[in-house]
Structure 1
Amino acid sequence: MATKKTSNTRSTKKTSSRTKQKAGRRKILPIVLKSAGALMLLGIIFFLLVFLGILGPVPSSYQLKQISTPVASEVYSADGKVLGRYYVENRSNVRFEAISPNVINALIATEDARFYEHRGIDEIALLRVLVKSILLQDKSAGGGSTLSQQIAKNLFPREELGPFSMPVNKLREAIIAYRLERIYSKQEILAMYLNTVPFSENIYGIEVAAERFFSKKPANLELHEAAVLVGLLKANNYYNPRKYPEHALNRRNLVIDQMAKYEYITNEQAEKYKAKPLEIKYRVISYNQGPAPYFLEMLKPQLLEWCKNNTNEKGENYNLYTDGLKIKTTIDYNLQYYAQQSVKEYMKNLQKVFDNHWKSRDIFRENPEIIRSAIRRIEKENGNSNIDIDKALASYNKEITTSLFTWDDLKEIQTTRLDSLKHYLKLLNAGFIAIEPQNGDLKAWVGGIDFRFFKYDHVKAARQTGSTFKPFVYLAALETGLSPDRYFENKFTVYEDYDNWAPRNSHEEYQGYYTMKGALAQSINTISVDVLLETGVSNVIDVAENLGISADLPQTPSLALGVASISLKEIVEAYAGIVNDGSPVQAHYLLEILDNNGNTLETYGYPGYKKSRVSPENCRAVINMMEAVVEDGTGKGIRTVYHIPGDFAGKTGTTQNNSDGWFIGITPNLVTGCWVGADDPRVHFRTTTYGQGAYMALPIVGKFFYKTYRDQKFASLKYSTFKQPEPELLAMLDEPQYKEILEADKKFFDLAKIFGGKDDAGLKERKEKSVEEKKARPLWNAIKSIFKKKK
C-alpha cells in the first residue's frame, strides 16, 4: 500500500507541474503575441512615418518620373569632340545603347548579381547581410543594397536623425528603389545608375570617367578597362588608377574574377585579361582644363545671355550649368590641340631664355615702379583704392606657403607675397588665334599659357601692334594710287612738324632705295612713315577701319610703326579681310545649341556677306608683298627653320623696347596670329635679338603649321594657292625690291666721276628728280585707275 501511495504522489506532482507549465505558457503566449503585435504595430507606424515622408521626404512616383540630375553643358568642336564643360557637377548623360556590355556585366557581377531577378529590393542579399555581416561580423559579405537603392542614395541625400538615421534611410531607399523599378526598365535603371554615380576626381557618370581615364567613349571600353572603372565605385579615391595604380590593378582583377564567377566570361578569359598591364590614357576635359579653356570663357557670357532669354518646356529659363545643353562650335579639335601644344612648347623654352637673360640683373630694382603699380592694381581689385604703397610693401614681405606655376611643375613652396608677385610678373605670356578667311570660321583660340593661373585672355587684349600694322599702310598707298614699282629712299629724317620726331630702323641702317614690297619684307620703318605721309594718315585709317579695325587709331606718323593698341583678334580678322579680297571678316564660332536630348534649340547662321571695301587687286598685291616677308625678309624662319611648304605670307611685329612680339602667318585657307610678351610692357627683353617678333612669336606659328601639315587631315591646306594680281600689277611687284642707287643717279654719278668730281648738291637734285619721274610713269598713269579705291 505504501508503494502505491508513493507512486500516486509522484504522478500527482508531475500532473501539477505540467499544469503549471501550461498555465505559464498560457500567460507568456499573450505577452509574446502582444509584444509581436506591438512590434508589428511599431513597424507599421515606422513604415508609415517613412512612407508618408514624415521622417524625411520620399519622392512620389510622379516626381521619380521627372528625375533631373544636374548635367554639365558641353561645348563641342566642329568635328564632334568635347572641348569643355560648364557644370556644378562634372557629369554627362549617356544612353544605355552607348555603354559597352563590358561595363554592364562588370557592374552587375560586382555590385548586384541578382539585378535581373529582384524588383528593387534583394531579400536574399539582405538576409545574407543580416547573418554574415551583423551576426557573424563577416565584413567580406558585401552590402545588401541593390543598384536601384544605390541610385536612391545618390539622387536623394540621406537624412540625419541620430540613432534612427540608418533604419530610416535604408527603408526610405528601399521604398524609392521599389518605385523606380515600377517606373523604369532594367536598362533605364542601369543607365541611370552609371550616369549618376561618382567615379573619381569630382567627375560623375560613365561617359566622363571613360573620357578621363581612357580617352574613349563608353561604348568602346574593353573588358579590362571597364573593370577598372567599375572597380572605382568601391572607393573612388583609393582605387584611382592615376594616383594609386597598384590598388586599381588589384581591384580590377577582383572585378574580373567576379565576372568569371557569374559566368560573364570564362576562367581562361579572366586570366587573359588579368595578365594585361594597367594602362590609362589620361585626359582632362573640364571647364578650365580642357583643350580650349580661354575659348569657353570667352563664349560663356553669350551663352548665359541666351539662357536668360530662352525657356524650356516647363517655362523655366535654361541653366547653363545644370541643363546639359550641347553647344556646337566651329573650332577644329586637332587645330586647337596643335595651337595649345605649340604655345606651351615654345613658351617653356622662351621663358628659360628670358630668365637667363635677366639672371645677372634685377629688373625690379632697375624699375621699382613695376612692383608698386602691380600692388596698386591688386589692392584696387580687392577694394582697397586708397592704399599706402609703402605699408602694403611691408605686408607683402610676410612669408606664405603657396603653389607657384612653373613650366616644370606646380611647386609648393614657402615664400613671400612679394617674391610670388615678382615670379608671376616675370612670366611671359602669349595669345594665338586661327581663322578661315573665306567665312570667318574660328578654328583655334589660345588666350594664355595656363588658364588655372592666368585668366586674362591675350587674344582679346589690346597691345601695340608694331610692324604688323604696316600692311594696312601699303594697302592704303595702293588704294590712293602709289605705284608698287616706285622706289623710296631709306634715309634718316627728322620731322620738324611733329616735334622733331625721327623714326629709326631696328638695324640702324639708312641707305639705298626700296620698293614697297622690299620695305615691307625688311620692315624698313623710315619708308613706312614716308609712305604713310604721302598716302595721308586719314586714308590709312579708313582702310584699317574698312577691314574691321575698331580700335582708336592716332592721327600721327607713328601710326605707320604700330603705336596703336589693337587686339590680336581684330588684327587677324583684318588680315583675313585682305585674304578675302577686301571683304571684312568677323570671327564666327557658334553653330548650334541643342538640349540634353539632342533637340535643336538655336541655329546660328553666318554673318551676312559684306561687299569688298578695298580693291581685291590691291589686297592681292599686299599678300604678294607679305610673301616676300617669308621668302627673304624678317619672317624667313617659316621656311628656313620650320620648313613650311606651299603658299605662305606673313608679317612680323616688334614694339618699342621689345615689349611685344607679333607674327601673323597667312595661308590661302587659314590666317593665324600670335602675340607674345609680359602682362606689364615694362617687363621685356633688353635686346631686339630676343625681343623681336621673329624670335618671340614666329616660332609658335611655325610649330603650329609644322604639326598641322604633318596631319593627313589637313594635307590639302599646303597645296592651296593665293589669288594672283593681274599681270601688269604683278610685273610691277616683281621689280627688284632694293637698289643701292637709282639708274638715273648712277648715270649722273658716273659722269661726275669722269669730269673729275662729285657734285653732292647736284646728285641730291638728280635723286629728287628721279623720284618725281617714277611718280609720273606713263604705264602706271594708264592703269592706276583700275586699282584705285572706289568711292
Structure 2
Amino acid sequence: MNKVKYILNKIKPPILRYILVGSIGLLLIFTFFVGSIYVGFWGKIPYKKELSNFQYQVASEVYSSDSILIGKYYLNDRQPITFDQFPKHLVQALVSIEDERFYEHSGVDYPSLLRVGLKTVLMGDKSAGGGSTISQQLAKNLYPRRNRNKTNIVVNKIKEMFIAKKLESIYSKDEILTHYLNTVSFGDNTFGIESAALKFFNTRTNNLSVQQAATLVGMLKATYSYNPRIFPEKSSERRNLVLFTMENNGFLSEVAYDSLKVSDLDLDYRDYDYSSGLAPYFREEVRKQVLQWTKEKNDKGFDYNIYTSGLKIYTTLNYKMQKLAEESMVEHMGKLQQDFEKSYGKNAPWISNDALINKIVRRSSAYQSLKESGLGDEVILDSLKNTKRKMTLKTWGEDKEKEVSIMDSIQHYMKFLNTGSISLNPKTGEVLTWIGGVNFKQFKYDHISQSKRQVGSTFKPIVYTAALEEGIAPCTYFSAQEVEYENFEGWSPSNSGDKDEAYLNYSMEQGLSNSVNTVAVKVLEKTGIDNVLRQAKRMGINEKLPREPSLALGTGEIKMIELAKAYTSFLNEGIAVEPFMIKAISTQKDSVLAQFEPKKSKNPAFSKENGQIMLEMMKSTINSGTASRIRSTFKLSNDIAGKTGTTQNNKDAWFVALSPKMIHLTWVGLDNHEIGFRSTNLGQGANAALPMYALLLQKMNNKKEFDYITKARFPSPSSQVQEMLDCDPVKRDGFFKRLFKNPNKKKTKKFKNQT
C-alpha cells in the first residue's frame, strides 16, 4: 500500500494522479459489476448443459390431402429446419448485414463494440449500429429481455455477451446460424425463417430467391417498420441495402446487384391466423379432434401438445376442391343475401319488429354483461341503443366502417343468411370440402358439426327406404288428397300444388321426386313410425326423432354430418360410413404417431335391391322433380341423384346431391330461427341451397383433375329393379270418384300409428 502511495505521489501534476486513481476506481467498479452479472446477481446466466439442450416451441401443421399446408396451431408460429435447408444466399445476406465478421470472432465482436462505444455513445451517431453479433442476438432470442431501462440494457448486453461466448464453445458456426434463423422473430407472432418464408412468399426456405431472402433478412432490424406487406417501399429500400452489403462483401456481382435492386417484392402473403385462410371451420374441427387425441394419449403417459409439439396433421381435405367450394359459396350467398333483403324491403323484421330485436339483443353477451352489473332491462336497452362507437360492419361487398351502437350491430347481423356445406367420398367417408358458415371471423358457430336443424324433405328418402324394406312395392299409389288427423290435434299436412292435386294418386317414385307432403305422410303411416325410426338408426342417425306423423316431413333435428353419414349408405349397398377428416398424425420429422381408418356400420341398413330403387327415385328428383333446375338452369349432365328440402315457414333450405364418387350436402338459413325466407319461391331448397352445389360442379367440370368425380357413372340398375319401377308415375281418379270428391274438403281420419 505504501509503495502504491509512493508511486502515485511521484505523478505530476496532481490532476493526472486524480485521473489515474479515478480510472482505476471505475475499472474496479466495472469489473465488480461485470463479475456480479456473471455470478447471477442480476439474473441467472444459463449453464452450458442448459444451452446444450434447449427445445423450441414448435407450431403444429395441418396439411390437405394433396400435401398443401393449410393451417397451423401455435403459441409461437415456428417451424424449425436444418442448416442444409438454408440457401447459400440467405446465409450470405444475413452475415453481410448483421455480422460481417461472424466467422472471425468467438461470440463477441470487440472492434464493433469499440465502434459503438466511440460513435454511438460518445458522438451520438445512431447509424453506427448496435454492435451485437449473431451469437449475441441468438442469446437474446433464447432469453428475451424483461426490463428495458438504461441500467438493465447494459446488464442485458453483458449477459448476452457471456451467453454468446458459451454458445460459441458449444455449437459450430453453422449450428449457431441454424438456431438463430429458427428463433428470430419476424413480427405478427411469426418466429423462424421457415414460417416467415411461408407467410410472406408462400414458399419453403430452400426455395427463397436472392431478393426474397434479402427482404426477410432486412426485416430483422425492425419487423414492423420493414414489413413488406404494410410498408412495401421501406421494405424495398431495406432489401436493397442488404443486397448492397452482399455485393460489398463479394457475394453478389455488380451486374446481379443492379438487376436485383429494381425487382418487385412479389409477395404471396398467406396468413396462417386461426380465423383466416382456407377452410377455417374445417381447421377448427380438426383442432378439437386433435386436442381430444392428445388428451387420450397424455392420459397414457405421453406428452403431446398441439400448440408446441410440432405435430404434423394430415387431413382428407381436397385443397383445390375446397377453394372452388368457397368461391361457389361466396358467389351464391352474396346474390341470395341481396334477394333476401330485397324481398322484405322496409318491413324487414330486423328493422321494424322491435319485440324481436329486443329479444335477440337480450341474448347478446353485451346485454348479459350489463345485467350482471345490476342494471335494469330498460336502462340496458337504452344504453345499447344510444351509445355509439366506430365499428366495422361485414357485408358481401366492401366492409363498412360506421358510428353505430351495439343494437345497430345486432340488427345488421340479424339479417345475415348462413350456410353449411360438406362434400364426402361416399366409399371412405373422407371429408373433401367443409364450409361451416359464411364468415369464420364473424360467425364461429359451425353448422356442420354443431348445429341441429330440422332437415325437411331430405328425411323423406329414409321414410321411403323403410317402406320398401317393409315390402311396399315402389309402384304402390298414394292419394295426394289432404287429410286431417284427428288423433294428432287435427294436424293436416298440405302440398304446394293446386287443389286439383286432390284427384291425383302418385307412385312412390313420383311422390318422392316431387316431394309431395301428403304422400310422404301416407307412406309413413303404411310403413309404421317405429319402422322408420329403426331404419333411420340403421342408417347412422342417432338423434332422438319425433314419434309422430310430422316425422315424414323432416321435423326431426339432425346435424349435417349425421345426415351425410345416412346418405352414404345409398352408395355403399346399405353400409353407412362415418365422415372423417384426419388421416394421420406424425412428429415434426414424419414419424407416424397415429393413423385413422374409415368407420363403417357392420350390417347393411337395407337390401341391395332397395338401395338401387331408392337411387333411381332420387335420380328422378334431379331429372324431372324438385331439383330439375340442375338440368334446366345449370345445364349439368353429370350422373346425379338427390333430394331437396324446405322446412316450415321457409326457415331451412336443404339440398343433398349423390354422385358415384361424391356426396354433397348444403343447408342455408338464418342463425336467428325466428326469421325465415319471405316466400317459398325464394327459400325452397331448390333455390336457396341447390345452386351452391351446382356452381361447384360447374367449376369442377372445367378441371380435368376432377374427371374421376365428374365423369363417374352410376351402374345400371338390375332388370328386376327396372321392371319394378315400370309404371305410370301418376294415376288420376276415375270419373265417378272425381264427381263425388270435393277437392276443397279435407278428409278426416285417425292416423294409424303402427309399431
Instruction: Mark the CA change 1:345 to 1:208 in structure 2 (over 3 Å): closer, same or farther.
Output: farther
**Which amino acid in the other structure matches residue 386 of structure 2?**
K
- 1:287 matched to which residue of 2? 274
Equivalent of residue 199 in structure 2, options 212, 217, 232: 212
Q: Which shifted more, 635-644 or 119-128?
A: 635-644
- 1:412 matched to which residue of 2? 401
Mapped partners of 1:502, 1:72: distance in 2: 58
- 1:181 matched to which residue of 2? 168
Alignment of 1:239-318 (within 5 A): 239-311=226-298, 317-318=303-304
- 1:146 matched to which residue of 2? 133
Structure 1 position 448, deviation (Å): 0.9
Q: SS of the residue aligned with 1:133?
A: helix
Instruction: Mark the CA change 1:415 to 1:218 in structure 2 (over 3 Å): closer, same or farther.
Output: same
Q: Which shifted more, 353-362 or 413-422?
A: 353-362
Q: Which shifted more, 370-379 or 272-281?
A: 370-379
- 1:488 matched to which residue of 2? 478
Contact 1:375 1:389 in 2 (8 A): no
Instruction: Mark the CA change 1:255 to 1:89 in structure 2 (over 3 Å): closer, same or farther.
Output: same
- What do the CA deviations read for 1:328-347 (whole angstroms, capped 9, x no partner)? 22222222322233222322
Structure 1 position 109, deviation (Å): 1.9
Contact 2:351 2:411 in 1 (8 A): no
Contact 1:709 1:717 in 2 (8 A): no
Mapped partners of 2:299, 2:179: distance in 1: 22
Q: Which shifted more, 667-676 or 320-329?
A: 320-329
- 1:10 matched to which residue of 2? none
Mapped partners of 2:196, 2:68: distance in 1: 15
- 2:385 matched to which residue of 1? 397
Is 2:328 the counterpart of 1:342? Answer: yes
Is 2:357 the counterpart of 1:361? Answer: no
Q: SS of the residue aligned with 2:385?
A: coil
Equivalent of residue 316 in structure 2, options 317, 320, 330: 330
Mapped partners of 2:541, 2:430: distance in 1: 18
Contact 2:247 2:254 in 1 (8 A): yes
- 2:752 matched to which residue of 1? none
Equivalent of residue 118 in structure 1, options 84, 100, 105: 105
Q: SS of the residue aligned with 1:235?
A: coil
Q: SS of the residue aligned with 2:304?
A: coil
Structure 1 position 419, deviation (Å): 1.3
Structure 1 position 98, deviation (Å): 2.8
Structure 1 position 234, deviation (Å): 2.2
- 1:371 matched to which residue of 2? 357
Instruction: Mark the CA change 1:289 to 1:146 in structure 2 (over 3 Å): closer, same or farther.
Output: same
Equivalent of residue 472 in structure 1, options 445, 462, 476: 462
Mapped partners of 1:245, 1:161: distance in 2: 30
Q: SS of the residue aligned with 1:598?
A: coil
Structure 1 position 699, deviation (Å): 1.3
- What do the CA deviations read for 1:7-44 (whole angstroms, capped 9, x no partner)? xxxxxxxxxxxxx9994349788766655554443333
Equivalent of residue 193 in structure 1, options 174, 180, 193: 180
Equivalent of residue 459 in structure 1, options 445, 448, 452: 448
Mapped partners of 2:326, 2:471: distance in 1: 42
Mapped partners of 1:21, 1:361: distance in 2: 100
Q: SS of the residue aligned with 1:673?
A: strand
Equivalent of residue 553 in structure 1, options 534, 545, 560: 545
Structure 1 position 354, deviation (Å): 1.6
Q: SS of the residue aligned with 2:364?
A: helix
Contact 1:372 1:389 in 2 (8 A): no
Structure 1 position 428, deviation (Å): 0.8
Mapped partners of 1:264, 1:312: distance in 2: 53
Q: SS of the residue aligned with 1:327?
A: strand
Equivalent of residue 94 in structure 2, options 77, 88, 107: 107
Structure 1 position 457, deviation (Å): 0.9
- 1:230 matched to which residue of 2? 217
Q: SS of the residue aligned with 1:310?
A: helix
Number of residue pairs matched by the alignment: 730
Equivalent of residue 431 in structure 2, options 425, 442, 450: 442
Is 2:715 the counterpart of 1:727? Answer: no
Is 2:40 the counterpart of 1:53? Answer: yes
- 1:595 matched to which residue of 2? 587
**Which amino acid in the other structure matches residue 307 of structure 2?**
Y
Contact 1:399 1:414 in 2 (8 A): no
- What do the CA deviations read for 1:476-512 (whole angstroms, capped 9, x no partner)? 1111111122333322333333322221112345143
Contact 1:309 1:317 in 2 (8 A): no
Is 2:54 the counterpart of 1:62? Answer: no
Structure 1 position 556, deviation (Å): 1.6
Q: SS of the residue aligned with 2:547?
A: coil
Structure 1 position 475, deviation (Å): 0.9
Contact 2:575 2:600 in 1 (8 A): no
Instruction: Mark the CA change 1:383 to 1:516 in structure 2 (over 3 Å): closer, same or farther.
Output: farther
Mapped partners of 1:761, 1:458: distance in 2: 50
Q: Which shifted more, 271-280 or 426-435?
A: 271-280
Q: SS of the residue aligned with 2:665?
A: strand
Q: Which structure 2 segments of 5+ residues have no match?
A: 1-6, 743-755
Q: State the TM-score, normalizing by the size of structure 1.
A: 0.86
- What do the CA deviations read for 1:297-335 (whole angstroms, capped 9, x no partner)? 22333333333343599x773322222222222222222
Mapped partners of 1:34, 1:372: distance in 2: 81
Equivalent of residue 428 in structure 1, options 412, 417, 428: 417
Alignment of 1:133-172 (within 5 A): 133-160=120-147, 162-172=149-159
Instruction: Mark the CA change 1:39 to 1:763 in structure 2 (over 3 Å): closer, same or farther.
Output: closer
Q: Which shifted more, 315-324 or 120-129?
A: 315-324
Structure 1 position 423, deviation (Å): 0.8
Contact 2:197 2:203 in 1 (8 A): yes
Contact 2:585 2:593 in 1 (8 A): yes
Mapped partners of 2:161, 2:395: distance in 1: 51
Mapped partners of 1:507, 1:146: distance in 2: 82
**Which amino acid in the other structure matches residue 324 of structure 2?**
Y
Mapped partners of 1:77, 1:411: distance in 2: 34
Mapped partners of 1:312, 1:117: distance in 2: 50
Structure 1 position 662, deviation (Å): 0.8
Mapped partners of 2:150, 2:207: distance in 1: 46
Instruction: Mark the CA change 1:517 to 1:36 in structure 2 (over 3 Å): closer, same or farther.
Output: same
Q: State the TM-score, normalizing by the size of structure 2.
A: 0.90
**Which amino acid in the other structure matches residue 494 of structure 1?**
E
- 2:639 matched to which residue of 1? 647
Equivalent of residue 320 in structure 1, options 306, 323, 333: 306
Structure 1 position 365, deviation (Å): 6.2
Instruction: Mark the CA change 1:65 to 1:726 in structure 2 (over 3 Å): closer, same or farther.
Output: same
Structure 1 position 615, deviation (Å): 1.3
- 1:506 matched to which residue of 2? 496
Contact 1:58 1:172 in 2 (8 A): yes
Structure 1 position 692, deviation (Å): 0.8
Contact 1:340 1:446 in 2 (8 A): yes
- What do the CA deviations read for 1:548-596 (whole angstroms, capped 9, x no partner)? 1111211222111111111111111111122121112111222222233
- What do the CA deviations read for 1:381-421 (whole angstroms, capped 9, x no partner)? 64958985444322221223223222224433211221111
Q: SS of the residue aligned with 2:347?
A: coil
Q: Which structure 1 segments of 5+ residues have no match?
A: 1-19, 750-757, 765-791
Mapped partners of 2:580, 2:10: distance in 1: 94
Contact 2:107 2:161 in 1 (8 A): yes
Mapped partners of 2:235, 2:312: distance in 1: 33
**Percentage identity across aligned positions?**
38
Structure 1 position 678, deviation (Å): 0.6
Contact 1:486 1:516 in 2 (8 A): yes
Instruction: Mark the CA change 1:683 to 1:760 in structure 2 (over 3 Å): closer, same or farther.
Output: closer
Q: SS of the residue aligned with 2:423?
A: strand
Structure 1 position 679, deviation (Å): 0.4
Mapped partners of 2:163, 2:47: distance in 1: 8
- 2:571 matched to which residue of 1? 579
